[in-house]
């Protein structure tokens, strides 16, 4: 394994990786795994990836887990990057792509984070895993914990889509429904985890979900022949995918696989829960909790994200931005994308298509830019949102 240590994203304090860790012990901010990239560069070239399995574990050298340990995996990653010419023509973009994460196990991008996080939790001796979830992260943890032979304790808002609740229960997880939001679920885990012996798998409150998510960036570069797009539109709740991709870009530049050019990163949030958009527009470096959070895009109903300061830095460094979309437009555009491109996107992904139309209309995105939209899950999980 080429991972050397964990490093705090805020104060830089070094932590050892060989024990279970949550947030920084000094400032309670997220930890990032760090690697000996010089050593990796001596044994791995980007051309060698073409001979490897389709799974995200093709990037094994830049992922955690001992080289002789078997990952807990369902073959996640390797999702297609699809041209979206018809929708692109409708909105006035000549080169539009969809990274379709609905084709992962458990039908969302959450599988990426859970394969690395559960693999490391098992290696480091955890036996009971707990997560607060708006839906898809719970389903992913339930599946990977079951495959690893570990207990999963899932805390969901009571109005989480029924499909997610059933999925978790049928996969053997212990499901607790909470009257409140995902932040309330997280608070309940924090209150009980010491007594119950749970390891907290919350977004960015352990170091390894972000490592699975960063493979979005590696795959994007590989699928685009190592030339990153001009613009990335990303639906943002906890923001691990956005943060992970930026980490991947930095690692790949150090490895010599890409240059210094970065996409302009745009965070897309619903009008009913937009802490990152509000903070970005106000020029703030962190995002206060968003009051009365509500949206049909349950994965985006995250009123306070622990990685807020990292996301805001990325948006500004990349020259990108942040935009809101209302729920009605998400649902309307889901059908438009389906009719044009044949993909039943989740409301979270639909928000990005709606945002693209606005960003092109006001000249923020030009016709000749290469644009990638991330569809983070399948609309099948959200049938309650659609009329018969």
The CA radius of gyration of the chain, in Å to the nearest whole number, is 19
Q: Tell whether 273 is covered by a domain.
A: yes
Query: Could you give the CA distance from residue 29 to residue 9 in angstroms, rounded to a whole number?
Result: 7
Residue 171 has pLDDT above 80, yes or no: yes
Residue 386 has pLDDT above 90, yes or no: no
Residue 147 has pLDDT above 90, yes or no: yes
Q: Tell whether 71 is covered by a domain.
A: no
Q: Tell whether 221 is covered by a domain.
A: yes
The pLDDT value recorded for residue 9 is: 98
* Torsional sign, CA 123, 187, 302, 322: negative
Q: Tell whether 73 is covered by a domain.
A: no
Query: Could you give the CA distance from residue 87 to residue 346 in angstroms, rounded to a whole number?
Result: 16
> Which pairing describes strands 14-15 and 3-8: parallel, antiparallel, or unpaired?
antiparallel
User: pTM of this prediction?
Assistant: 0.96
Q: Tell whether 203 is covered by a domain.
A: no
The pLDDT value recorded for residue 67 is: 87
Number of domains in the chain: 1
Residue 372: which CATH number? 3.40.50.1100
Domain range enclosing 304: 81-108+212-385
Segment 48-93, tens digit of pLDDT: 999 999 899 999 999 999 989 999 999 999 999 999 999 999 999 9
Query: Could you give the CA distance from residue 114 to residue 275 in angstroms, rounded to a whole number?
Result: 25
Q: Tell whether 365 is covered by a domain.
A: yes
The pLDDT value recorded for residue 135 is: 87
Return the structure tokens found at 346. Answer: 């989740």
Q: Tell whether 317 is covered by a domain.
A: yes
Distances 27 to 23, 31, 211, 238 between C-alpha atoms, Å: 8, 10, 21, 19
Alpha helices in the chain (DSSP H): 37-43, 85-91, 110-123, 136-148, 162-170, 182-196, 209-223, 240-255, 275-282, 308-317, 327-341, 347-361
Contacts of 68 (CB under 8 A, 6+ apart): none
Residue 384 has pLDDT above 90, yes or no: no
Residue 209 has pLDDT above 80, yes or no: yes
CB 308 within 8 A of CB 260: no
Local structure of residue 314 (DSSP, 8 states): H
The pLDDT value recorded for residue 111 is: 98
The pLDDT value recorded for residue 388 is: 58
Residue 387 has pLDDT above 90, yes or no: no
Segment 105-118, tens digit of pLDDT: 999 999 999 999 99
The pLDDT value recorded for residue 291 is: 96
Q: Tell whether 351 is covered by a domain.
A: yes
Segment 296-320, tens digit of pLDDT: 999 999 999 999 999 999 999 999 9
């Amino acid at each position: 394994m080429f991972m050397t240590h964990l490093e705090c994203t805020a104060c830089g304090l070094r932590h050892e990786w060989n024990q279970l860790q949550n947030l920084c012990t000094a400032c309670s901010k997220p930890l990032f795994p760090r690697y000996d990239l010089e050593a990796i560069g001596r044994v791995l070239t980007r051309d060698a990836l073409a001979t490897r399995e389709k799974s995200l574990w093709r990037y094994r050298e830049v992922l955690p887990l001992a080289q002789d340990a078997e990952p807990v995996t369902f073959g996640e990653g390797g999702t297609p990057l699809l041209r979206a010419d018809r929708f692109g023509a409708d909105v006035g973009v000549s080169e539009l792509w969809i990274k379709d994460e609905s084709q992962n196990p458990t039908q969302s991008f959450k599988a990426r984070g859970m394969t690395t996080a559960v693999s490391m939790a098992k290696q480091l001796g955890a036996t009971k895993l707990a997560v607060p979830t708006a839906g898809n992260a719970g389903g992913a943890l339930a599946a990977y914990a079951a495959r690893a032979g570990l207990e999963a304790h899932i805390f969901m808002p009571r109005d989480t889509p029924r499909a997610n609740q059933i999925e978790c229960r049928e996969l053997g997880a212990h499901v607790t429904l909470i009257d409140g939001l995902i932040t309330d679920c997280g608070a309940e885990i924090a209150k009980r985890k010491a007594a119950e012996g749970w390891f907290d798998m919350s977004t960015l409150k352990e170091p390894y979900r972000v490592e699975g998510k960063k493979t979005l960036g590696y795959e994007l570069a590989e699928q685009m022949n190592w030339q990153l797009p001009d613009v990335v539109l990303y639906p943002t709740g906890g923001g691990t995918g956005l943060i992970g991709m930026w980490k991947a870009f930095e690692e790949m530049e150090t490895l010599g696989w890409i240059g210094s050019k970065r996409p302009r990163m745009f965070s897309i949030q619903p009008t009913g829960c937009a802490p990152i958009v509000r903070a970005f527009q106000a020029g703030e470096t962190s995002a206060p909790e968003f009051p009365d959070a509500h949206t049909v895009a349950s994965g985006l109903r995250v009123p306070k994200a622990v990685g807020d300061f990292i996301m805001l830095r990325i948006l500004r460094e990349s020259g990108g931005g942040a935009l809101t979309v209302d729920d009605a437009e998400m649902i309307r555009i889901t059908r438009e994308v389906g009719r044009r491109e044949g993909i039943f996107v989740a409301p979270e992904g639909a928000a990005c298509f709606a945002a693209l139309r606005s960003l092109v209309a006001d000249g923020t995105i030009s016709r000749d830019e290469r644009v990638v939209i991330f569809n983070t899950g399948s609309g099948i999980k959200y049938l309650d949102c659609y009329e018969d």
